[in-house]
Amino acid sequence: AETPIHALDIASDGVWIAGGGEGMIYLWNMDHPPASFVLESPNQISSLAFSPNGGYLAYGTGQQGSTTNYVGVRKMEYTGHVQRFLKKTTDWQKLEGFEDRISSVAWDQSGKLILAASQSGQLKSWDPGKNKVESALQLNVPVLHLSQLKEGARCLLVTGAHALELWDYAQSTSPEEFLQTAYEGIDCAVSEENQLIAIADRRGLIHLLSQSDHSQVSVLESHSDLVTDLCFVPSSRLLAAAYRSGVVRLWDTRQFKMIKEYRNDHSPVTAIQASADARHVIAASLNGNVSIWKLP
């Protein structure tokens, strides 16, 4: 990519990869690279999410301290060059009114609602088909990350208050406290299969928690290297972690040890995703490189 990549997602078909850069959204086709293309946006992209059926791509902008941040949605159901040119700069829908960098966007399980969180503490659930905000909350602390849970209309929030909170986006009530921590979390990932939650803190530690009773299972440490992103590998016990030093480490969450390390260059890794078939891990870097590695 020509710009740093700040966000990454893989469509459910495993073919399309989206990367969010500086004024650009890159769409790469893993099966047929010549089919890859670029969409334009006036802002830096801070978060990306394909809809469950892959037909839409939601993105959030990341202008620090700006009141012009928004969530945009692009339709992906076009393949011809003319269609791409016409839709290169056009949002299907757009939700404005965010007062700081958007930290997370996600789709609910139905693929009808988009969930968005910002560093100014805003939470919104939005139906882009109706262009209707279903619920909106303003917290007193930044929301650093949002992870959707499979059961019910619930999201796990990493906030700037040394806490994990549960947000029921079907209700208009404030989030409930899930866990108070002695450390400040910056990112998290959820494995429903293994009933685990992984939280990265500002010191570079990864805390593994039991989803059922919230107890700490283990701490994964890698010599003061700072974690930038986390994801669980589907249908496995593996956790992939991206680091500022430019490496991706694969952790075994049962044996609590690192089993593999990937490195492409020394540029900080900004985002990481594992493919749905658990065959590849994909990492984006600040220098614009996107690396694809085979999983063991």
Mean per-residue pLDDT of the chain: 92
Are 24 and 119 in a shared domain? yes
- Residue 151: per-residue pLDDT: 81
Nearest to 144 by CA among 126, 169, 165, 118: 118
Is the predicted pLDDT of residue 28 greater than 80, yes or no? yes
Q: Rounded to an integer, what is the distance from CA 264 to the centroid of its chain?
A: 21
Predicted pLDDT at 85: 57
**68 contact partners, CB below 8 Å, separation of at least 6:** 43, 61, 96
Domain that holds residue 74: 1-139
* pLDDT-wise least confident of 31-35, 250-254, 259-263, 283-287: 31-35
Buried/exposed 134-159: b ≥16 CB within 10 Å, e otherwise = bbebebeebbbbbbbbeeebbbbbbb
Pick the range with the lowest mean pLDDT from 23-27, 37-41, 94-98, 188-192. Answer: 37-41
Task: For residue 157, tell me if it sits in a domain.
Answer: no
Domain count, the chain: 2
- Same domain, residue pair 190 and 277: yes
- Say what the pLDDT of residue 81 is: 59
- Assess if residue 86 is contained within a domain: yes
CA distance linking residue 187 with residue 201, whole number of Å: 7
Domain assignment present for residue 13? The answer is: yes
Buried b (16+ CB within 10 A) or exposed e, 218-249: bebebeeebbbbbbbbeebebbbbbbebbbbb
Question: Are residue 16 and residue 125 in the same domain, yes or no?
Answer: yes
Is 239's pLDDT higher than 70? yes
Q: Band the pLDDT of 104: cuts 50, 70, 90.
A: very high
**Based on the domain organization, do 1 and 131 belong to the same domain?**
yes
Residues 238 and 125 in one domain: no
Same domain, 133 and 187: no
Percent residues over pLDDT 70 in the chain:
97
**42 or 62: whose pLDDT is higher?**
62
Asked if 25 and 118 sit in the same domain, the reply is: yes
* Residue 89 pLDDT greater than 90, yes or no: no
Residues 111, 204, single domain; the answer is no
Residue that terminates a domain, selected from 139, 170, 203: 139
* Residue 175 domain flag: no
Looking at residue 192, its pLDDT comes to 87
171: pLDDT confidence band, cut at 50, 70 and 90? confident
Please indicate whether residue 229 or residue 173 has the higher confidence score (pLDDT): 229
Would residue 164 count as lying in a domain?
Answer: no
| pLDDT attached to residue 78 | 58
Q: How confident is the model at residue 21 (pLDDT cuts 50, 70, 90)?
A: very high
Residue 159 within a domain: no
Q: What is the CATH number of the domain that holds 288?
A: 2.130.10.10
- Report the predicted TM-score, pTM, of the whole model to 2 decimal places: 0.92
Q: Are residues 7 and 134 in the same domain?
A: yes
Give the residue with greater pLDDT, 1 vs 100. 100
Give residue 271's pLDDT: 97
* 52, 103: one domain: yes
CA angle 37, 230, 100 (to 5 degrees): 70
**Same domain, residue pair 123 and 233:** no
pLDDT at 66 over 90: no
Q: Residue 90: is its pLDDT beyond 90?
A: no
Out of 80, 112, 139, a domain closes at 139
The predicted pLDDT at position 79 comes to 56
Q: What is the C-alpha separation between 161 and 244, in angstroms, rounded?
A: 23
Name the more confident of 56 and 36.
56
135 and 185 assigned to the same domain: no
> Is 60 exceeded by the pLDDT of residue 118?
yes
Q: Give the best-scoring range by mean pLDDT among 61-75, 105-119, 168-182.
A: 105-119
pLDDT at 80: 59
In a domain, residue 40? The reply is yes
Q: What is the DSSP annotation of 76-142?
A: ----SHHHHHHTTT--SEEEEEE-S-EEEEEE-TTSS-EEEEETTSEEEEEETTTTEEEEEEE-SS-
In a domain, 266, yes or no: yes
